[in-house]
Amino acid sequence: MALDLFSPVNLGAISLKNRMVMAPLTRNRVTESGVPQAMNVNYYEQRATAGLIITEATPISAMAHGYPALPGIYTDAQVVGWKKVTDAVHAKGGKIVIQLWHVGRISHPTLLPNGVLPVAPSAIKPAGQAFTYQGLVDYVEPRALDANELPGLVADYVHATKCALAAGFDGVEIHAANGYLIDQFLRDGSNKRSDNYGGSFENRARLLMEVTKAVVAVAGADKVGVRISPVNPFNDMHDSNPQALFNYVASELNQFNLAYLHTIEGDMMGKENTFDFDALRKLFKGAYMANLGFDKVRGNAAIASGHADVVAFGVPFLANPDLVERFKTDAPLNVADSSSFYGGTEKGYTDYPFLNA
């Protein structure tokens, strides 16, 4: 029998009832202290029929924030808040992992402790504006991290992982994509370092490998995934040789026997690219999660062909809490209200109708 989106699968130690993954979706709807609240519990619980939920990107420390109203995973109160989410998802038979996030230079002093500068591999100001509590403001030039600060950064990932396990998550995903801190180290458009963390592929990937090794030591490799975005220019990102760089990254990650590799297969801005994602997928020996613009037909084709083991859906899950059932029955989909994507109330968050409503 041919595999499809509705076939069960194991991602490491995480058993999925289907191959439809709810992608991480930033929604900016928690308290200023980063604690998930009742409507966040409801939002994730509604979508527990997904084979796997990946939470919204979640800062690993106070220095990791880059937007208002984000949840964190580094204080006791945040652990308690997230435990309510994981309990609700598990009660519905779902699985959920948390995405561990450090935004790096994509921040602003008004969002950081004591108004300090954001940090980055190199002191390069990104184009664009930061979304702050005061509105949109130009990004600032970040402070380049000293090499002797990086062990402390790795320790923040370890602490966040311990908090995630205490909160009842089935695993963690290391966010190394979309122009945030680890991706800033990976790509040479944002990394101009001359030390052991810059220059060669090995050096630019060093931080990702150190973080992955440390997180795996805490959670177990079979509960850890990594997310990458080889050609996504979001947050003013580019690289001179993305195919060679990310082929190297995928190959090096094999040493950890991870639960999965989560890849954004293209340019979120909609531009064409020539990156060979099939080649990348073949280099990675573990389970592979494909993401970007998939619908039911393309998702089933990716599974059936062996290109992907699971497929992540973003906006479709945002607007359709029962997306699995709608795909199974070829029911029409709710249309997403883009004006309510970021920030706000239950409107455009937990009020999308179910088929049987």
Catalytic: which of 43, 180, 288, 352?
Answer: 180
* CA-CA-CA-CA dihedral for 287, 284, 276, 24, to nearest 10: 40
Bridge partners (DSSP) listed for residue 291: 264, 312
Secondary structure (H, E, C), the chain = CCCCCCCCEEECCEEECCCEEECCCCCCCCCCCCCCCHHHHHHHHHCCCCCEEEEEEEECCHHHCCCCCCCCCCCHHHHHHHHHHHHHHHHCCCCEEEEEECCCCCCCHHHCHHHCCCEECCCCCCCCEEEECCEEEECCCCEECCHHHHHHHHHHHHHHHHHHHHCCCCEEEEECCCCCHHHHHHCCCCCCCCCCCCCCHHHHCHHHHHHHHHHHHHHCHHHEEEEECCCCCCCCCCCCCHHHHHHHHHHHHHHHCCCEEEEECCCCCCCCCCCCHHHHHHHCCCCEEEECCCCHHHHHHHHHHCCCCEEEECHHHHHCCCHHHHHHHCCCCCCCCHHHCCCCCCCCCCCCCCCCC
What's the rounded Cα separation, in Å, for the pair 348 and 117? 34
180 catalytic, yes or no? yes
Catalytic residues: 180
